[in-house]
Chain A
């Protein structure tokens, strides 16, 4: 089946540095990808919708200058956390819509394995 690959799975960085997380669709093209953030023991919160060839759409309260999203090709979206601070430490998960992802022909969201960011 369709796979969404996310890298790195785990990253530790110093406060003030920037971190890039990659999300790739394997064997399928994704014109739209979604970035979520999950704090411990909490649900997934949608951060932004990444659109191939155009600007990302950010959810209310998400700083677009801090969380830079680039969707330069039909198989790759990147999230860059700029000038990271300890409060940015979280689990970041990307997803893509896959037609027939459950065998029914419907569009279902398939998720990457996530990236755990720790900012010291």
Chain B
């Protein structure tokens, strides 16, 4: 099956810093989503981005489908950005998750 790899696995930032999270996938996909899982376990949709670039406030994402990777950018990080960020790709109607990047933003 398809492999989804995220890096880095852990990231500690000082409030206000910028960061880039990466997601590599091993095969062609027709859907890619980025999620933020908060400390209570709730998964929040950040982006549906099978290709191209999208921005939403301090967050933006870029997927280069031909090279099989996606990047999530977080600018001016805040403590509320802490949590786990997952990318997930769809193949055959199923959404397969990467292992996540655990982000901790320190005040």
Least Cβ distance of B107 to chain A in Å? Answer: 24
* B86 CB–A CB distance under 8 Å: yes
Asked if B98 and A111 make an inter-chain contact with CB atoms under 8 angstroms apart, the answer reads no
Asked if B94 and A91 make an inter-chain contact with CB atoms under 8 angstroms apart, the answer reads no
Interface residues on B, range: 20 to 34
* A108 CB–B CB distance under 8 Å: yes
A113 is contacted by which of B42, B50, B86 (Cβ under 8 Å)? B42
Main secondary structure of the interface of A (DSSP, over half): strand
Chain B residues close to A by CB (< 8 Å): 31, 33, 35, 40-43, 45, 47-48, 50, 86, 88, 93-100
Give bound CA distance, A49 to B92, whole Å: 12
Which chain A residues lie closer than 8 Å to B33 at the CB level?
Answer: 108-109
B41 is contacted by which of A43, A93, A108 (Cβ under 8 Å)? A93
B47 is contacted by which of A102, A109, A111, A114 (Cβ under 8 Å)? A102
Interface residues on A, range: 20 to 34
Least Cβ distance of A44 to chain B in Å? Answer: 5
Give bound CA distance, A101 to B46, whole Å: 11
Known: A43-B86, A101-B48, A104-B48. A109 touches B42 (CB 8 A): no
CB-CB nearest in chain B for A44: B97
B100 is contacted by which of A43, A46, A102 (Cβ under 8 Å)? A43
